[in-house]
Structure 1
């Protein structure tokens, strides 16, 4: 599953001694962020409702790294400004204690969301996306300088993979380059595996029937 990372937002409102804090993980409307995205009011509503029904919350990671959970989110809700989150750092975890000290000193104050796009509108003239429906997977504490380039690449990759999935669902044949990126992102294939999959499923290795069957399989995988 490809999860897109949002631009870091410098808006942590409060930090308590025991590691509880709150802040805005995303804001609505306004100018596009540095990746050309605008998040519409209500974009998180269905995802937050689904989390509530499952009695779950988005994960709290350090720098979008699933190997480094550093606490848990106690609450997440939309208001007129954006997505307000309240969290508890796990002070028994070294990385969480480090995050707390960095937050307290003001050395970092960024929150960034990890999500999957479910609905969007595109303004091709302005090259902006208005994201209308998002599945919220995680909210990370981030230091912008260390994370910015990786986030930009993740955003570019996430958009391409989303566009290829939409093409497949619509029965449109993607290019070889698009399919190569799709295999790597959706199915976590290596470079050689992705190249071979494109050759077999899209080209059918010279056999039209196999190519047609392969494209049908890709559409099924895209949902």
Structure 2
């Protein structure tokens, strides 16, 4: 399953100094995002504890490029607002670290965004809000555009939250994000989703709320063990 991404604009508290040190909130609690998801206090606790116990640190990446680390988070802890971090950029060896430092100092790069896996969550059927209670933090990036996301599942979620329909290809991509293989996703999209969404003439797309429920069901489905 691909890493999910969540962005927080204007979250940098202190821009990098001459040594590349900076700080800011990489996640904020309690506020629903455009995908109707909320991060709950304590969501990062287990992940941070496991990382510390393993003697590891979380990388600072550039634009979510896992192969482009530009520093390390020297401190990550939850406070009353969210997940606060202090990091250091590798200005001497990472070219993009210097770009990040210059952009953050100039005020044109002001976003922090996390890459993560959801390990526990709950869903409010009345308010249609998903609360993330367990998050495995993989990386936290400096990003030029905090609203940008390369995760296809987030694009689909945004469309559904806005009441828009999605295409067959987007539904198939979402199943892939949920852990289905390429062939499984293609079969489900071809034989199930297409027939369902086009069961009536002139209805190329199903109701967005119904599609959202279908995706939720797909995400919770697991093949039986043999």
Same fold (TM over 0.5): yes
Alignment of 1:143-222 (within 5 A): 143-144=144-145, 148=148, 150-151=150-151, 153-155=152-154, 181-183=174-176, 186=179, 194-195=182-183, 218-220=223-225
Alignment of 1:2-17 (within 5 A): 2-15=2-15, 16-17=17-18
Query: Could you say what the CA RMSD is over the residues aligned between the two structures, in angstroms?
Result: 3.0
Alignment of 1:1-223 (within 5 A): 1-15=1-15, 16-29=17-30, 31-91=31-91, 92-144=93-145, 148=148, 150-151=150-151, 153-155=152-154, 181-183=174-176, 186=179, 194-195=182-183, 218-220=223-225
| Gaps in structure 2 of 5+ consecutive residues | 159-169, 192-221
Higher helix residue share: 1
Tell me the matched-pair count.
Answer: 182
- Please list every run of at least 4 consecutive aligned residues from structure 1 whose deviation after the TM superposition is greater than 4 angstroms: 156-159, 177-181, 196-199
Cα distance, 1:67 vs. partner? 2.2
Distance 1:144 1:197 in 2: 31
* Deviations 1:145-201, CA, capped at 9 Å, x for gaps: 6x52535x3425699xxxxxxxxxxxxxxxxx97774446647x6xxxx237865xx
Q: Is the 8 A contact 1:5 1:154 kept in 2?
A: no
Cα distance, 1:219 vs. partner? 4.3
Change (3 A) 1:40 1:149: closer
Other-structure match for 1:209: none
Q: Is the 8 A contact 2:73 2:87 kept in 1?
A: yes
Q: Is the 8 A contact 1:42 1:132 kept in 2?
A: yes
* Deviations 1:73-122, CA, capped at 9 Å, x for gaps: 11111111110111111112111100110000000111011111111111
**SS state at 2:57 partner:** coil
Distance 2:185 2:34 in 1: 34
**SS state at 1:6 partner:** strand
